[in-house]
């Protein structure tokens, strides 16, 4: 755990330069606007440890798989979001010395993100070995309004000398992914135009043939006036630069305003790409830095209006929750259903930047509650568009008749992951994708999504379950052999309760969906049946049989569902008995030892109890929580949130708060020593859930929203915002009252602490505690 980020309500602040933490800071200070993003790298050269990273949404490369021992069925490649052009670069040379913080004496240094405005600032005073001292400040943002544009204001001031300063803004496309499996470069340069203060280059990706144009344009300001400079342009393969030298005077600032554009064939016809990019960039340039920044601020203000959470009395917690919300909003804006939320967003390369079940299980609730409905709908449509690929994935594993297995990891619908115990066996993900449909409809009321999108996805998943089970002659039940549950510290187990439960639930829900679509949209239903070759009578008969005769591992003595067959054969010592120096066990124990231990990486049985809490008594949940929680080591960033929510729901506020804290500052404090690789973006959705659904006790049942808030000790209060159907609420929790404000134009009914409350438009109800 690190502690170098200064606490503040709205800002993330690194004060004093920490070269040993630079890669961590680069992750933490990442910027993104849903279409592109990049790490908090320096503009000027830096020869210390750094991962220079700039990423464009949807632009990936199928990197040839690296594997020790090939298993039949493995995918040939692992899709990676590509590290793309470095457009921020500005080399600065002062009287022949290169500006490089790794080689200078640093007097002061601050790196700050103002989350309210989504602007990254840096300011430092440093001197060269020859004693010349400069003050540098930079301000950078990626416009949330013009998603292809970014802008930088970069100022150098000589503090104790007059001299020549050469600025070399550049765009470098000769970029490699640090995690390239075979050390290969994936970009091939195409065209270059580089003249005066404006330059562009295009490059395309090997195999996938995405074409990208990155460009820059700049002007120079000295003493608050546009300053004419003599420019030299140079270009080489995949690289353009432009240089000018200024006679700088002590105490006088030279400011370079660099505007960047990154446009891709995702959004432009390849033949028009460079001209479109030029047009976009010139429009931005003509507006100027301040206009761009103002519109950007305004747009962010609207995002915060819908999603902010305010905590009073705990700055660290305040900063933590805002950081999570900020990053989620930087990563996904929901205007393109081809995009999704990668585990690291635009902040690093680990996990390939692709889509996991994390989106459905951990991020969807945040977007449902804080963004317009189309945003979360697009997350669902993403999977609908991948349905054919999911069917092909299942076919590769021997399934037939339109059964679909959604991939563990993907970017275009094809499976990318190659660990048999995950890729082939962690099939509960299929249930998570079905459950997202239920979750979306339950929240929004948009049941028509079933006709036919939701229905077709559910049908294909149900077909998978129906083929994946087999009849056990001995048990006289259907069983599901050889699976890995959400708890990845068990592999290839039989009858993982959560997976069996998701299977049966999917079958039931698909039957309901059929009833609805058949009745409400008979033509769409008929068409979908034709398209999918659905034999309703035969197939649903088998589903009903499976629903009726599914086997669920269960321990009579304790009256609990068992995580899997044989779980009670383990040595059930609680996790607190593990020696502290052996934690996390994933770093200290061999894999076989982890597997045969009882320790649980993340919620498994409890995942189902969270999702289907309404099907269980509170005492059921308590019993299972008390059995499984002590065995859970929470070694996934996705783990504590579910435990936090369940703990809150069964009246264990301390536990709920403890679990909430584990996620909220995970990256800011580098809790797991892996923030250098990038931020845990999808687990940030879990943080939000554990706040709003855990502490806030928010639930939606039958079209009504419920709140059951608790206030952690030491907090004065907190406020969160919720977008629900046509209403927007502000929930303000204090020590002795709760205020719920209806910010919309219509009266609505909510339920607080199991009591219905009617709230008129633009008014507040107060619940005394």
Q: Which listed residue (1, 3, 68, 580) binds a copy of itself by CB under 8 A?
A: 68
674 binds a copy of itself (CB under 8 A): no
Task: Report in angstroms how near the CB of residue 39 gets to a copy of itself at its nearest.
Answer: 24
275 binds a copy of itself (CB under 8 A): no
CA distance 484 to 481: 10
Residue 201, CA distances (Å) to 61, 114, 172, 231 in order: 19, 31, 9, 18
For residues 471 and 753, which CB has a smaller minimum distance to a copy of itself in the complex? 471
CA distance 121 to 139: 4
Q: Which listed residue (72, 577, 702, 736) binds a copy of itself by CB under 8 A?
A: 72
For residues 66 and 374, which CB has a smaller minimum distance to a copy of itself in the complex? 66
Q: Which listed residue (102, 188, 316, 568) binds a copy of itself by CB under 8 A?
A: 568
The gap from C-alpha 479 to its chain's centroid, in whole angstroms, comes to: 34
Sign of CA dihedral 338, 339, 343, 345: positive
Task: Report in angstroms how near the CB of residue 431 gets to a copy of itself at its nearest.
Answer: 17
- From 35-43, 111-119, 303-311, 473-481, span contacting a copy of itself (CB under 8 A): 473-481
For residues 398 and 533, which CB has a smaller minimum distance to a copy of itself in the complex? 398
250 binds a copy of itself (CB under 8 A): no
- From 45-53, 185-193, 247-255, 565-573, span contacting a copy of itself (CB under 8 A): 565-573
Sign of CA dihedral 656, 678, 15, 324: negative
125 binds a copy of itself (CB under 8 A): no
H-run or E-run covering 765: strand 763-768
Residues facing residue 701 across a β-bridge: 704
- From 458-466, 584-592, 683-691, 728-736, span contacting a copy of itself (CB under 8 A): 584-592
- From 148-156, 310-318, 487-495, 761-769, span contacting a copy of itself (CB under 8 A): 487-495
| Tokens 């902040």 found at | 347
Count of CA atoms in the C-beta half-sphere (13 A) of 65: 16
492 binds a copy of itself (CB under 8 A): yes
592 binds a copy of itself (CB under 8 A): yes
The number of residues that bind a copy of itself (CB under 8 A) is 48
- Contacts for 627 with CB less than 8 Å, ≥ 6 apart: 558, 560
Task: Report in angstroms how near the CB of residue 364 gets to a copy of itself at its nearest.
Answer: 27
* 488 is an active site residue: yes
- Residue 140, both tokens: 């950078």
297 binds a copy of itself (CB under 8 A): no
387-396 and 373-385 helices cross at what angle (nearest 10)? 40
195 binds a copy of itself (CB under 8 A): no
CA distance 644 to 647: 5
CA angle 609-612-613, nearest 5°?
65
- DSSP per residue, 191-235: EEEEETTEEEEEEEETTT--EEEEEEEEEEEETTEE-----EEEE
Catalytic member of 157, 360, 488, 539? 488
Task: Report in angstroms how near the CB of residue 581 gets to a copy of itself at its nearest.
Answer: 13
What does the chain come to in residues?
769
Q: Are 283 and 148 in contact (CB under 8 A)?
A: no
- From 91-99, 464-472, 730-738, 744-752, span contacting a copy of itself (CB under 8 A): 464-472
For residues 70 and 713, which CB has a smaller minimum distance to a copy of itself in the complex? 70
For residues 368 and 550, which CB has a smaller minimum distance to a copy of itself in the complex? 550
- Residue 466, both tokens: 């129906």
For residues 365 and 407, which CB has a smaller minimum distance to a copy of itself in the complex? 407
For residues 493 and 514, which CB has a smaller minimum distance to a copy of itself in the complex? 493
569 binds a copy of itself (CB under 8 A): yes
For residues 208 and 492, which CB has a smaller minimum distance to a copy of itself in the complex? 492
- Residue 465, both tokens: 């379950």
Residue 702, burial from CB neighbour count under 10 angstroms (0-12, 13-18, 19+): exposed
Count of CA atoms in the C-beta half-sphere (13 A) of 232: 8
* DSSP designation for 414: S
Q: Are 215 and 150 in contact (CB under 8 A)?
A: no
Q: Which listed residue (98, 295, 312, 419) binds a copy of itself by CB under 8 A?
A: 419
For residues 103 and 396, which CB has a smaller minimum distance to a copy of itself in the complex? 396
CA distance 352 to 66: 13
Residues facing residue 718 across a β-bridge: 311, 733
Other CB atoms within 10 A of residue 198 CB: 20
Residues facing residue 706 across a β-bridge: 699, 751
- Contacts for 383 with CB less than 8 Å, ≥ 6 apart: 360, 390, 406, 433, 436, 457
Binding mask 652-671 for a copy of itself (x = CB under 8 A): --------------------
Task: Report in angstroms how near the CB of residue 279 gets to a copy of itself at its nearest.
Answer: 44
For residues 556 and 614, which CB has a smaller minimum distance to a copy of itself in the complex? 556
Residue 155, burial from CB neighbour count under 10 angstroms (0-12, 13-18, 19+): middle
577 binds a copy of itself (CB under 8 A): no
H-run or E-run covering 258: strand 254-264
| Tokens 């005769």 found at | 549
Residue 228, CA distances (Å) to 218, 243, 246, 377 in order: 11, 13, 9, 50
Q: Are 326 and 116 in contact (CB under 8 A)?
A: no
- From 132-140, 300-308, 587-595, 621-629, span contacting a copy of itself (CB under 8 A): 587-595
472 binds a copy of itself (CB under 8 A): yes
- Residue 191, both tokens: 């065209």
The gap from C-alpha 495 to its chain's centroid, in whole angstroms, comes to: 30
Task: Report in angstroms how near the CB of residue 463 gets to a copy of itself at its nearest.
Answer: 16
418 binds a copy of itself (CB under 8 A): yes
538 binds a copy of itself (CB under 8 A): no
301 binds a copy of itself (CB under 8 A): no
- Buried b / exposed e along 424-439 (16+ C-beta atoms within 10 A): bbbbbbbbbbbbbbbb
For residues 331 and 499, which CB has a smaller minimum distance to a copy of itself in the complex? 499
566 binds a copy of itself (CB under 8 A): yes
Applying the rule CB under 8 A, the residues between 377 and 406 that interact with a copy of itself are 396-398
77 binds a copy of itself (CB under 8 A): no
- Residue 46, both tokens: 């830096």
Task: Report in angstroms how near the CB of residue 379 gets to a copy of itself at its nearest.
Answer: 27
579 binds a copy of itself (CB under 8 A): no
Task: Report in angstroms how near the CB of residue 73 gets to a copy of itself at its nearest.
Answer: 3
For residues 176 and 253, which CB has a smaller minimum distance to a copy of itself in the complex? 176
Q: Which listed residue (48, 482, 653, 717) binds a copy of itself by CB under 8 A?
A: 482
475 binds a copy of itself (CB under 8 A): yes
- DSSP per residue, 700-728: EETTEEEE-----TT--EEEEEEEETTEE
For residues 44 and 358, which CB has a smaller minimum distance to a copy of itself in the complex? 358
Q: Which listed residue (76, 130, 301, 591) binds a copy of itself by CB under 8 A?
A: 591
- Report how far apart the first and last C-alpha atoms of the chain are (Å, whole number): 37
747 binds a copy of itself (CB under 8 A): no
Applying the rule CB under 8 A, the residues between 593 and 612 that interact with a copy of itself are 593-596
Q: Please give the positions annotated as active site.
A: 488
Residues forming the site for a copy of itself (CB under 8 A): 65-69, 71-73, 396-398, 418-421, 424-425, 470-475, 479, 481-482, 491-494, 565-566, 568-572, 586-596
């Amino acid at each position: 755990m690190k502690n170098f980020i200064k606490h503040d309500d709205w800002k993330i602040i690194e004060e004093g330069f920490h070269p040993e933490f630079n890669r961590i800071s680069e992750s933490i200070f990442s910027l993104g606007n849903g279409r592109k993003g990049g790490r908090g790298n320096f503009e000027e050269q830096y020869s210390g440890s750094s991962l220079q990273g700039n990423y464009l949404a949807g632009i990936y490369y199928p990197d040839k798989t690296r594997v020790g021992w090939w298993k039949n069925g493995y995918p040939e490649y692992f899709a990676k979001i590509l590290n793309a052009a470095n457009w921020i670069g500005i080399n600065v040379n002062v009287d022949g010395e290169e500006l490089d913080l790794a080689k200078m004496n640093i007097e002061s240094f601050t790196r700050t993100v103002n989350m309210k405005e989504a602007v990254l600032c840096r300011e430092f005073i440093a001197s060269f070995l020859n004693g010349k001292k400069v003050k540098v400040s930079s301000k950078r943002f990626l416009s949330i309004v013009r998603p292809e544009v970014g802008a930088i204001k970069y100022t150098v001031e000589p503090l104790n000398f007059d001299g020549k300063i050469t600025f070399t803004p550049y765009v470098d496309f000769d970029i490699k992914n640090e995690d390239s499996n075979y050390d290969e470069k994936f970009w091939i340069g195409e065209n270059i135009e580089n003249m005066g203060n404006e330059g562009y280059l295009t490059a395309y990706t090997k195999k996938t043939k995405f074409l990208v144009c990155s460009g820059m344009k700049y002007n120079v300001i000295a003493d608050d006036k546009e300053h004419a400079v003599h420019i030299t342009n140079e270009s080489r393969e995949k690289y353009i630069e432009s240089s000018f030298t200024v006679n700088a005077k002590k105490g006088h600032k030279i400011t370079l305003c660099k505007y960047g554009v990154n446009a891709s064939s995702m959004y432009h016809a390849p033949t028009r790409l460079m001209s479109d990019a030029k047009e976009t960039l010139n429009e931005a340039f003509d507006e100027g830095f301040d206009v761009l920044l103002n519109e950007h601020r305004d747009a962010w203000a609207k995002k915060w209006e819908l999603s902010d959470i305010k905590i009073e009395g705990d700055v660290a917690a305040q900063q933590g929750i805002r950081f999570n919300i900020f990053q989620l909003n930087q990563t996904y804006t929901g205007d393109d259903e081809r995009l999704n939320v990668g585990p690291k967003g635009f902040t690093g390369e680990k996990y390939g930047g692709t889509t996991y079940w994390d989106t459905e299980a951990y991020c969807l609730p945040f977007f449902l509650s804080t963004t317009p409905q189309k945003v979360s709908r697009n997350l669902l449509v993403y999977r609908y568009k991948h349905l054919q690929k999911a069917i092909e994935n299942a076919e590769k594993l021997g399934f037939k008749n339109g059964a679909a297995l959604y991939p563990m990891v993907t970017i275009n619908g094809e499976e990318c992951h190659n660990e048999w115990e995950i890729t082939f066996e962690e099939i509960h993900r299929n249930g998570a994708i079905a459950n997202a449909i239920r979750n979306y409809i339950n929240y929004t009321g948009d049941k028509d999504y079933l006709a036919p999108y939701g229905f077709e996805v559910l049908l294909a998943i149900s077909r998978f379950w129906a083929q994946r089970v087999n009849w056990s002659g001995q048990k006289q039940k259907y069983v599901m052999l050889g699976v890995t549950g959400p708890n990845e510290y068990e592999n290839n187990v039989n009858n993982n309760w959560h997976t069996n439960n998701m299977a049966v639930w999917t079958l039931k829900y698909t039957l309901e969906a059929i009833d609805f679509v058949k009745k409400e949209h008979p033509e769409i239903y008929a068409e979908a049946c034709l398209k999918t070759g659905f034999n309703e009578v035969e197939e649903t008969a088998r589903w009903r049989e499976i629903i009726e005769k599914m086997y669920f591992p269960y321990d009579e003595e304790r009256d609990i569902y068992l995580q899997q067959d044989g779980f009670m054969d383990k040595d059930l010592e609680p996790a607190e008995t593990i020696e502290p120096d052996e934690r996390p066990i994933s770093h200290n124990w061999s894999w076989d030892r982890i597997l045969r231990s009882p320790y649980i990486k993340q919620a498994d049985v409890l995942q189902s109890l969270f999702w289907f809490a309404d099907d269980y008594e509170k005492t059921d949940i308590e019993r299972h929580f008390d059995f499984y929680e002590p065995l859970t080591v929470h070694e996934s960033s996705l783990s504590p949130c579910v435990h936090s929510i369940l703990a809150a729901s069964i009246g264990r506020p301390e536990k709920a708060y403890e679990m909430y804290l584990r996620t909220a500052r995970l990256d800011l404090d580098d809790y797991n020593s892996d923030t250098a690789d990038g931020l845990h973006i999808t687990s940030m959705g879990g943080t939000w859930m554990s706040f709003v659904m855990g502490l806030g006790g928010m639930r939606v049942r039958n079209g009504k929203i419920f709140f059951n808030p608790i206030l952690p000790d030491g907090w004065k209060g907190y406020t969160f915002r919720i977008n629900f159907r046509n209403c927007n609420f502000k929930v303000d929790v204090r020590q002795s009252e709760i205020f719920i404000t209806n910010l919309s134009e219509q009266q609505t009914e909510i339920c607080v602490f199991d009591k219905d409350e009617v709230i008129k438009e633009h008014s507040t109800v107060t619940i005394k505690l």
